[in-house]
Amino acid sequence: MSLWRRHRTDAILGVVAVLLVVLVLADRGSVSTAEAEDRKYQLIDAWRADDITRVEIQVGEVTMLLRAVDDPGAPSSWLLEENGKSVDVDDQAVGQLLVSLEFAAYERTVEGLDATAMGFDAPRARYRIAMGKLDYELALGKEAPSPAGGAYVRVSGGGRGTVDYVVGPELVSELMLEPGALRSRRLAPYLSIDTRAYELDGPTGRFRLERGTWGGRTAGQFLVKTTGPAVRADRRQLDGWLIMLGRLQVERFLPVPAELAKPRATLTIEPLAEDGTRAVLLLGLGGEGCEAGQTLVVRRAPEPVAGCVPEGALDPILLDPAKLRDEHVVGTAKGDITEIRWTAGDLKVELARKEEGWYMRAPSEGPAEPEPVEQLLEAMLDVEGEIVGHGAEREAWGLSEPRATVQLRGLPERGVGVADERVERLEVGARTDDGVFVRRLDDDVVLRVAVEPARAFLPRPAALRATQIFDVPLEDVAGLELDCDGKRQRFTRLPAGSWTLEEPEAPIGVDMGLANGLAESFRQLEAVRWVSERPEEDHELATPWCRVTMVVRAGDDATRRLTVQLGAETTGGYFARRADAPAVFVAPRGLGQLASRWLLDTGALMVSPT
């Protein structure tokens, strides 16, 4: 068999493929039969969104030019010029306009009318669309007799040539773009992730928000600078402020005035980019040219803009800088924390996120109980203190040799090409009569924290244990012994579930409801939270006011005793410990209240009045 005969099938298929490609490319310059049929009720008989490179618009005296940006990494898909001047574009508004053009439908075609009579010699609006090899021109003429509010439209280009139509009032409204309709209405030209600093000179004075050096999410990265030393900005407050600034939008554009009144405030925004232009916003310039309830705002740079905004929109932005000062010890958001390390001398506790849970690296290795870890995290993040000074004075606060240190690692900012993870460090001083002093290394600030919440910053392996203290089957409960507030009581539980009084000796029965309630609470006792590895003086566990013991069947005739000692009252209950372990937890308040009562059937002591 000849070489040609062996390969002619492949050669023929190759030629056919090339011809098909040529035909497809050639067909892009005309409207296909399928397109024409599919869009026979639309003004524009072909719509190839990916091929649109340019849209020219003229409405009255305003001209707009949209040019597509062929760069996936660009901040916008379009460039916009208005009356020959580059302005910020609103991609969403452009998208809405293109959808209106794509689905623009006509009411009916028009034949035999003079172009002047339909208003095409001086159209109200004109659109020119470059769509690959297809070009369309759309002219909006005078109002048509019907439908009410409708108008004449002339479309040139595509497969139909030039055709006159009547369109409805809704499309007329969409085509009659107002000045600035495609412009970005955002007054802050830079996103917070692209900003180095904000400076506000307003009713409450001048302050500066400057990006710190510790990385992490944007809202947690700033320092507040006023007349005194810089203090870390509270991410909880700053996040809301950044959102309100981002939402500050022009409702109606105005020409930039040649002369300006004194503004309520001046906001300067410095971009991260070294070659970026500082933005200057003049906020609250009065109501001239604006409607009632609005005030004028002017952006002097970059790309000067003037427009009206609601007066109330400025109030959240012109806030007192004192509200931004972070008095929380921890600045990283809970969901961003990936690692925590507590260190005190030789004792170290270290946790790291693993998938949906936590893994303990020290003092032992293995999965950590999720619930106590979450409780401890929440406790740490809730701790607030009083700012008393800075690290230069740390000897005065017992911080020259910290009692403990804490290091947290957090996620970097999202949506940024290069971003640093968050590293937050804390130093914990000795306990004093005034509380515990904690130093934040972010801003070198020292805070005074109450003793109890400050425990969250000490390495406490016990705090990461499960909160379940006991889990005894009901059928194994053999008795209760109480020594609380000077009341000594002892009860035996019979296999059938009834109770008998052993002490004090008295001809009286047991209140079954109270006894069963206490037994139920104790046999499944759960700590409110873990507190410390061993009792401290203020726990008052050296001489507990209450001891609760449950006698538990342990097989054959053997029993074992489970005892909990209750000390001082605290938030959520009482400091407590098991008699066989030193770790301190908080027992529910209801346990102490029930254990301190007489569990006796006082109804038997009542005497009938008859």
pLDDT in tens, 73-125: 777 889 999 999 888 899 999 999 999 999 999 999 999 999 999 999 999 99
- Strand pairing of 265-271 and 279-283? antiparallel
| Contacts for 75 with CB less than 8 Å, ≥ 6 apart | none
Backbone angles phi, psi at 519, to 5 degrees: -60, -40
Question: By the 8 A CB rule, do 212 and 232 touch?
Answer: yes
Are residues 316 and 338 both part of a single domain? no
Q: How many CB atoms lie within 10 A of CB 274?
A: 6
What is the percent of the chain with per-residue pLDDT over 70, rounded to a whole number? 93
Q: What's the length of the chain?
A: 610
Mean pLDDT value of segment 532-544: 93
Are residues 422 and 366 both part of a single domain? yes
What pLDDT digit, counting tens, does each position of 185-220 carry?
999 999 899 999 999 999 989 999 999 988 888 888
What pLDDT digit, counting tens, does each position of 55-74 carry?
999 999 999 999 999 888 77
Distance between terminal CA atoms of the chain?
A: 129
Examine the pLDDT at 544 and tell me if it is beyond 90.
yes
What's the CA gap between 369 and 526, in Å, rounded? 14
Mean pLDDT value of segment 561-581: 96
Does residue 203 sit within a domain?
A: yes
What's the CA gap between 238 and 548, in Å, rounded? 49
Mean pLDDT value of segment 378-388: 95
Check residue 71 and give its pLDDT: 84
Are residues 39 and 160 both part of a single domain? yes
End-of-domain residue from the set 175, 200, 221: 175
End-of-domain residue from the set 175, 206, 225: 175
Higher-confidence residue of 297 and 371: namely 297
Backbone angles phi, psi at 93, to 5 degrees: -65, -40
What's the whole-model pTM score?
Answer: 0.71
| Contacts for 34 with CB less than 8 Å, ≥ 6 apart | none
DSSP 288: T
Q: Strand (E) positions, 10-94?
A: 52-59, 62-68, 78-82, 85-87
Torsion of Cα atoms, 229 then 230 then 231 then 237, to 10°: 130
Are residues 364 and 306 both part of a single domain? no
End-of-domain residue from the set 411, 432, 461: 461
Examine the pLDDT at 138 and tell me if it is beyond 70.
yes
Does residue 575 sit within a domain?
A: yes
**What is the sign, positive or negative, of the torsion defined by CA atoms of 383, 442, 216, 227?**
positive
Check residue 503 and give its pLDDT: 95
Question: By the 8 A CB rule, do 239 and 333 touch?
Answer: no
CA distances from 596 to 323, 488, 546, 551, 580 (A): 46, 9, 8, 18, 22
Check residue 25 and give its pLDDT: 41
Does residue 187 sit within a domain?
A: no
Are residues 162 and 131 both part of a single domain? yes
Does residue 376 sit within a domain?
A: yes
β-pair partners for 136: 129, 157
Are residues 55 and 80 both part of a single domain? yes
Which residue is associated with the tokens 């002339």?
154
| Mean pLDDT lowest among 154-163, 413-422, 482-491, 554-563 | 413-422
Are residues 457 and 344 both part of a single domain? yes
Question: By the 8 A CB rule, do 271 and 196 touch?
Answer: yes
What pLDDT digit, counting tens, does each position of 443-499 carry?
999 999 999 999 999 998 888 888 899 999 999 999 999 999 999 999 999 989 999
Question: By the 8 A CB rule, do 467 and 371 touch?
Answer: yes
| Mean pLDDT lowest among 26-30, 404-408, 512-516 | 26-30
**What is the sign, positive or negative, of the torsion defined by CA atoms of 307, 311, 316, 322?**
positive
Are residues 261 and 151 both part of a single domain? no
Mean pLDDT value of segment 414-419: 64
What's the CA gap between 285 and 413, in Å, rounded? 35
Are residues 360 and 251 both part of a single domain? no
What's the CA gap between 186 and 56, in Å, rounded? 23
Does residue 352 sit within a domain?
A: yes
What's the CA gap between 405 and 426, in Å, rounded? 6
Sheet with 252-254: strands ordered across: 231-232, 222-225, 205-211, 195-202, 265-271, 279-283, 294-301, 305-310, 252-254
Does residue 253 sit within a domain?
A: yes
Instruction: Give 604's pLDDT tier (boundaries 50, 70, 90).
Output: low
Are residues 441 and 494 both part of a single domain? no
Examine the pLDDT at 547 and tell me if it is beyond 90.
yes
What pLDDT digit, counting tens, does each position of 291-313 carry?
999 999 999 999 899 999 999 99
Higher-confidence residue of 395 and 64: namely 64
Check residue 4 and give its pLDDT: 44
What pLDDT digit, counting tens, does each position of 337-361 carry?
999 999 999 999 999 999 889 999 9
The chain-wide mean pLDDT, for the chain, equals 90
For residue 442, give its domain range. 334-461
Give me 106's structure tokens: 């006509």
Are residues 519 and 410 both part of a single domain? no
Check residue 287 and give its pLDDT: 83
| Contacts for 553 with CB less than 8 Å, ≥ 6 apart | 475, 476, 477, 478, 559
Does residue 185 sit within a domain?
A: no
Check residue 6 and give its pLDDT: 52
Check residue 416 and give its pLDDT: 60
Give me 306's structure tokens: 């003037």
Are residues 141 and 203 both part of a single domain? no
Check residue 17 and give its pLDDT: 52
What pLDDT digit, counting tens, does each position of 217-252 carry?
888 899 999 988 899 999 999 999 999 999 999 999
What's the CA gap between 569 and 546, in Å, rounded? 12
Q: How many domains does the structure of the chain reveal?
A: 4
Examine the pLDDT at 15 and tell me if it is beyond 80.
no
Instruction: Give 5's pLDDT tier (boundaries 50, 70, 90).
Output: low
Q: How many CB atoms lie within 10 A of CB 386?
A: 13
What's the CA gap between 341 and 326, in Å, rounded? 22
Does residue 20 sit within a domain?
A: no
Check residue 575 and give its pLDDT: 98
